[in-house]
Amino acid sequence: MSLKKSRFPILLSCWIGILCAGNFVEIIWRVLLHGNENSLWIPAIQGAGLLGVTAASFRLSSLRAARGFFLALLAFAAGDWACWLIESSSVWIDKAGALPVEYQMTARTLLSFIPALLMLLTLSGSGLGRKDVFISKGSLDAESRMPFGIRAVRWTILGPALAVIFVLPLVLQLTLTLHPNFSMAAKAMRALPAILVFAALNAVSEEFRFRSVLIARIHPVVGTGHTLLMTSALFGLAHWFGHPSGPTGVLLAGFAGWFWGKAMIETEGIGWSWLIHAAQDVAIVAFVIMAAR
């Protein structure tokens, strides 16, 4: 059997897990089928898919190497469902809804540490340590491998360049989708301390949930190319109903997520991914504040 054929079952199962853990089912249900956003069919379908591939990894030797990946995705989704239940409660709606928008977003970010904690628990007994899941700044001046025979570039050059390059299409997309009132820029500036807290926390949470654990689990199994495609797809789909939103938001977030995953693998740390991600989040919250009515 060829290597390509022997990897097909594990790649197919991984993609099923990615689509079930992400927003793919919800996007199909709400956008194409015009279903209710609070329908229990969404977690039911997601859960069935994730439990299916996880159970298969315990029974089939061909999927055993990806078992930790499936468990991490299951924890990711279970944590998201827990967050959804909390955010749907009357207490949360009353209390969080009365807060300024920047504090509402920070409160939601604090909830996101629930799936992060559940994913952390899946590492128990795995033998993976802090550096294995990229919980360090890494080698910030590491070289980045470039395509098409282009000379390698150090991340001390590529990182700042990407931070600037990413913000331009992001600002355009946020302007077109949020329709901000730029006369509210002074209000956004006054909220800068809260914005920075949100950006720092959200970048840590999302880098850990969407990349750190998942890359550590699946990269040794399927290699860099498939790993980056899977994690960037998961990250992109998660933004359909967020900021940036819609199909363009999915593309922007997925593209950025691909580079953040690349940074994590090449520098062996979270440093550049967190810094660039946090910078993008500052712009996002500022625009959300200016768009608040």
Question: Which residues, in sequence order, are CB contacts of 172 under 8 Å at separation 6+?
Answer: none
C-alpha 151/C-alpha 195 separation (Å) is 37
Helix (H, G, I), strand (E, B) or coil at 14: helix
C-alpha 255/C-alpha 98 separation (Å) is 34
Specify the pLDDT at position 154.
96
Helix (H, G, I), strand (E, B) or coil at 144: strand
C-alpha 112/C-alpha 276 separation (Å) is 19
Joined together, the tokens standing for residue 255 give 């593209």
Specify the pLDDT at position 292.
84
Helix (H, G, I), strand (E, B) or coil at 270: coil
Specify the pLDDT at position 1.
39
One-letter amino acid identity for 49?
Answer: G
Is residue 68 within 8 Å of 126, Cβ to Cβ? yes
Other beta carbons within 10 angstroms of residue 50's beta carbon come to: 24
Residue 88 phi, psi (nearest 5): -85, -10
Specify the pLDDT at position 5.
57
- Nearest-10 crossing angle of helices 3-21, 67-87: 10
C-alpha 282/C-alpha 288 separation (Å) is 10
One-letter amino acid identity for 162?
Answer: L
pTM over 0.85: yes
Residue 256 phi, psi (nearest 5): -65, -40
Specify the pLDDT at position 3.
43
One-letter amino acid identity for 257?
Answer: G
Helix (H, G, I), strand (E, B) or coil at 243: coil
Is residue 270 within 8 Å of 135, Cβ to Cβ? yes
Residue 2 phi, psi (nearest 5): -70, 160
Specify the pLDDT at position 191.
96
Each residue's pLDDT expressed in tens, for the chain with a length of 293 residues: 344 557 899 999 999 999 999 999 999 999 999 999 889 999 999 999 999 999 999 999 999 999 999 999 999 999 999 999 999 999 999 998 899 999 999 999 999 999 999 999 999 999 999 999 999 999 999 999 887 778 899 999 999 999 999 999 999 999 999 999 999 999 999 999 999 999 999 999 999 999 999 999 999 999 999 999 999 999 999 999 999 999 999 999 999 999 999 999 999 999 999 999 999 999 999 999 999 86
One-letter amino acid identity for 186?
Answer: A
